[in-house]
Amino acid sequence: MDELILFVNGKKVSVKNPDPETTLLQWIRNNLQLKGTKVGCGEGGCGACTVMVTHFDHKENNYKHLSVNACLAPLCSMHGVAVTTVEGIGNVKNGLHPVQERLAKSHGSQCGFCTPGFVMSMYSLLCSDPQPSEAAIEEAFEGNLCRCTGYRPILEGFRTFTETKSGTDSAYCLSESQNGQKDFLCARGKNKGKVCNGICEKEREKLSGNLVNVEEFMPLSKDIHLPQPFKELEEVAAGCEKQSLVFKSERMTWYRPTSLDELITLKNKHPISKIVIGNTEIGVEIKFKNMHYPVIIAATHVAELNAVQYLDNGIRIGASVTLEKLEKVLKNAINSMEESKTRFFATIIEMLRWFAGPQIRNVAAIGGNIVTASPISDLNPLFLSAGCMLTLASISGGRRTVNMDDGFFTGYRKTKIKTDEILLYIDLPFTTENEYFYGYKQSQRREDDIAIVNAGMRVLFEKDSIIIKDMTLSYGGMAPFTVMATKTTNELKGRKWDDELVTKASQLLAKELPLLPGTPGGMEAYRCSLTTSFFFKFYVSVRLLLEKKMPNLFEYMLPNQFQSISRTHHREPSRGVQVFEDAPQGQITVDAVGRPLPHVSAVKQVTGEALFVDDMPVFKDEYYLSLVVSTKAHARIVNVDPSEALKMPGVVDYVSWKDIPGENKSGCIVSDEKVFAVDLVTSQGMIIGAILADNQSHAQRAAKAVKVEYEELKPIITIEDAIAANSYLMPPKTIESGDVATALAKSDHVIEGQLHIGGQEHFYLETQATLAVPKDGGGEMEVFSSSQDTAYLQKAVADVLGMDCNKIMTRVKRLGGGFGGKQSRFVLLALPVAVAAHKHNRPVRCMLDRDEDMIMTGTRHPYLAKYKAGFTNEGKIEAVEIDFYQNSGYSRDLSVNVMERSLVHVDNAYRIPNIRVTGHLCLTNTPSNTAFRGFGQPQAMLTCEHIMTDIIQTVKLSPLMVRELNMLKEGDKTYYNQTIENWTGRRCWDDVIKQSDYKNRKLQVDEFNRNNRWLKRGISVIPVKYGVGFEVPVLNQSSALAHVFLDGSVLIAFGGVEMGQGLNTKMIQVASRALEIPTSKIYVSESNSSQSANASPTAGSVGSDLNGMAVMYACETLMSRLEPYIKSNPGGTWESWVNSAYMDMISLSAIGFYHTPDLGYDWESNSGLLFAYYSSGAACSEVEIDCLTGDHMVLRTDIVMDVGKSLNPAIDIGQIEGAFLQGYGLFTLEEIKYSPNGYLYSRGPGAYKIPSIGNIPIEFNVTLLKEAPNPKAVYSSKGIGEPPLCLSVSIFFAIKEAIGAARKEVGLEGPFSLDSPATAERIRMACIDEFTKQHPEPKPGTFTPWFVKL
């Protein structure tokens, strides 16, 4: 068999001799040129590549519609199925599908890179369930990530498919109270006159418009919009299911047997072959671990391995049964059998809730979970504790059964299964009346994450007693393989189920499952504490059941405060209200400013038609480039040998520093970096050379074959390493105001402390990408790049090629997210691509794989803050002294500028009369860290609020009172001598306290904490002050170009880059007001250096400010030229006025230029204007933590943000929500892990966790402050991209408050340190109790840690 048959978007496709190494994603993008399905991570962790796979099940006589990760699905596995991509359900030309339309109109697409994946996940769900529940929708997206939106608008749009059909509901209830002050009172309905805190739960007086009008949505028609019977698929599938397949390539052979005998024979012939079902493990190994498997056997079509059989003692599950099918089988059993028989099944179901995402569960098989023998498998601890039986088969040994017991796993990734054996099925046993079963898992993020530690726990009691007859405890994450605590359970048999059991079990587990300091995976004390914490949860859960069943057997009942331990994790579907000021009555219809228009590219993004760099059509003579990068953090290069790589198929050339015609250096401020390393590497991921080949696969394979010989040098990795080695980029920088020493001496209290703030990976969904195209015989070059700065890209390419800038055209259509990560670090890829293209005078392309991007491009800067603060008994700050230590990485990049912003934002929204802040820039052997949304302020603000929290805990006064006592007010001067003007910070603060009902909820939190020992809640309100503008004055400028064509259409161009923030949309709205024409007549094409020269980077929350003013000026110039024609023909049309001007030879093109006036701060004299204005806001967040595991959940967040007079409320609210959730990741989830030698462990979504859809606050309310015009920016608006990110510290300090409540239970009160991010590990270990005390943290310096804090 050498032909693969499948259907793609309804069309039958035949593929001759498919390559077994080709994934479905590669094939549909490269061969079919369907570029809507995106390349996000390559490991099934982000969902950007989601497609729907449909197969006809002849046994059940129905269609199965499944969402699948195309990046992992082998093309060869698609024989006889139908694949639907985003292009297959709707497009701009022929009309959108309701899924696409609702997402676009609900503002659920910002950068658009993740959007097709969300569309296809939702479409797949609707094909199986046309009216799903809200919970089902959220579950469907557990395998999809978005870095822009904060998820809320995505959910709101898709919830309109549910029975409730809820959409975005924006409402504000305002009434005049008796004293004439505005209050948040219900204005009508049964709650009229009652305080509703701004948001009524039932009836709302809608004084502002809706973000979305759900009445406009196209109805979902089952006959039109969902798949219909597909007879040809049924016929093809019937034939394909019976066919045995063999596909071969130069490196791999793919077999798909259809009988058990054939499968066993193949395994006997190829004993080291890999058997795959979903390819979810093998695919990752091949892609990222450089594994090569010459023979793959797909066991998907062997009937016996897909069978489910009910036995007297349990259910027999075929090894190829997918986890999705397993879940359905077990749910059916639970619904049809008595509860006591299905307790083990219920535990499996609960564990599957947190097992990867639906795209993985839809294809991954139960057998694969067993035989891959992962030490952190979620299911294997359950199978061990249940004593499941496996049936194996081979030619040599026939059939045999094996018990999954303490001897089943024999080592790392090893089992008792022999190499020539296959796993036929697993028997899942029933439980009995006196048997109880629970499973536990703790991970960094709850949804779609691998376990840190997991467990399966089973106990069997003597009849009608609480005496333990048998017990099994199994753990993952505590050894190189899943282990059973047999010594512990043997000791516990025969004991009573009482409190003494917990003490004994904890002691035994600590002895049986120790982790030595430096154990792979790290977090040794935390992992050990989880083993006992899990057991305690198990004990309480079972005891509560026993107390209910046999209360007379216990001397006393467990306290009510323990009841919550037994509950399983549950969160209600998220909800929220968005409040904004609608466009005023009387505003002309064509004036789009202030209206919540959808993103101008949303329709293209939801259909997959919005092109990114790697989506551009391939040139016929194009080469693909793959980088050769350093594997060492600090080393001399002894030799580079590309000879073997150059012999490989498709390889064209090896490019290095020797091929650079210009300068082998780069740097956005100073040129302190090499394009290609010559004789020294100072970080892992530093570029040494590059391979050119005819396609991506050949280039990447050959790049890994280049041999580099090193002489290793001692690396400096952490801030502490740099301090010890006196390794700094430059002398420290200090800003000082007042007399710090005297003020500290006179203070009632002085506290000291330190805080470590981890870095953050940008994790833009589109990785760095570049396409360089030589022009005019090599005399010019056109560069398409995922860059936030077209001017720097142009200058850097010109310098490295030895050409003038006027011969380099840089073009950016859109970015799939940037967040600062593409402000400067894009040159790492762009310059080698340009060099290669120049050398060969041919187009060259490269898009980095996710792991390449993460090891090369740098992150947000990690900080260490050491502080001292003096204050009064009332909590008023008298003096603060701070030393910031920044991990800058191996070069300067933007580190100095980031530190400068930190130095001037450490006051947040407070007045500090005496202050000295010093910044130290640590030079380390890690990738050069760079700009990231917030640009140094998040680190400074967290430090400030950490100090404030210490003060509050010291004086033991109300957090509101202490913060308000220190809050800035109108007319105050900052410590860098800028006067606070047009200050709205206190209004935001007061409004959020009222809207959130903080004071009542604080009482409720305290009550909850009194009633719960092991769950605690915290609530925190935090303000923000953000200085808007580039600290480098020259960057605060922009130009724009506006053309009017004879048909009346308008083209505007400017230097800003669209990266999801809605810049193009806002600029069109600005032009619509200035020109008084509808937005439909205005178009923005791209950012292009030939149209807007010397553009400043799109960053610093000033994209709309700078470009908006330039666009406005350009349009006003045009209007001034057209004014005579409008006056002379007031009844005319726009088109007639334009044509009249043209006939009079009046220019219909205009340039607008703007620079922010009066900026210019002098660091030496501490004088001058640093920022154009301030953006302010406030947030209130409430959280709940699990003191035994460190898990947490955000219950509610309320935000009030001053955005001036919003240019587009929908976009601004989207920016607030997206920034807030990104900041939430920074402060709680996202942890960068390096080895002490500089090896990055967290290099993909499998190991690095950004917030997912389950992390958004259950209730998320956002209000744009009303009546707050800003005189300093275009049409009274304000910059919005970065300030809201800082408000997520409210979650951090709510967590800290909850931890404080837990510590109070054991007599610990007062200030305590909590580093950022507040991961599950840090939360748990800060909640000190009898279990953590058993496992003290090892003393630093006495061992080599597995990973270090940068």
Backbone angles phi, psi at 265, to 5 degrees: -65, -45
**Residue whose C-alpha is closest to residue 932's, from 902, 974, 906:** 902
Full DSSP string of 203-246? ---B-S--S--GGGSPPP-HHHHSPPP-HHHHHHHHHHHT--EE
Does residue 832 sit in helix, strand or coil? helix
Backbone angles phi, psi at 733, to 5 degrees: -120, 135
Encoded tokens for 782: 């056109």
The catalytically annotated residue of 447, 1031, 1282, 1321 is 1282
Is the CB of residue 942 less than 8 Å from the CB of residue 757?
yes
The burial class, CB within 10 Å (0-12 / 13-18 / 19+), for 786 is buried
Based on the residue annotation, tell me whether 711 is a catalytic residue of this protein: no
Element (H, E) at 773: strand 769-775
The residue written with tokens 């009608």 in the block is: 464
Is the CB of residue 900 less than 8 Å from the CB of residue 888?
no
Give, to the nearest 10 degrees, the angle between helix 115-128 and helix 98-105.
130
**Residue whose C-alpha is closest to residue 837's, from 1026, 995, 1011, 661:** 661
The residue written with tokens 């800035």 in the block is: 968
Distances (CA, A) of 468 to 48, 406, 432, 542: 49, 20, 14, 12
**Amino acid making up residue 1213:** I
Full DSSP string of 479-514? SSS-EE-HHHHHHHTT-BSSHHHHHHHHHHHHHHS-
**Residue whose C-alpha is closest to residue 1031's, from 1180, 1133, 1171, 1135:** 1171
CA dihedral 684, 685, 686, 688 (to 10 degrees): 110
Q: Which residues contact 1139 (CB under 8 A, 6 or more apart)?
A: 1046
Encoded tokens for 878: 């008298």
Please, which residues bridge with residue 390 across strands?
402, 426
**Residue whose C-alpha is closest to residue 859's, from 1262, 1240, 580, 1125:** 1240
**Amino acid making up residue 1081:** K
The single-letter DSSP state of residue 926 is S
The single-letter DSSP state of residue 1147 is -
Distance of CA 629 to the CA centre of its chain: 26
Task: Quote the strand ranges of 630-675, DSSP E.
Answer: 635-641, 651-655
Q: Degrees (nearest 5) of the Cα angle 1062, 824, 1038?
A: 50
Rounded-to-5 percentages of helix, strand, coil across the chain: 35, 25, 45
Q: Reading across the β-sheet that carries 451-461, which strands appear in turn?
A: 435-443, 451-461, 468-476, 483-484
Distances (CA, A) of 627 to 613, 690, 828: 18, 4, 10
Q: Measured between alpha carbons, how far is 50 from 83 in angstroms, rounded to an integer?
A: 11
Count each helix (H run) and each strand (E run) in the chain, helices first: 38, 49
Half-sphere exposure of 256 (CA within 13 A, CB side): 25
Contacts 24+ apart (CB under 8 A), 403-409: 404/370, 404/380, 405/484, 406/483, 406/484, 406/486, 408/384, 409/373, 409/380, 409/481, 409/482, 409/483
Catalytic positions, written as ranges: 1282
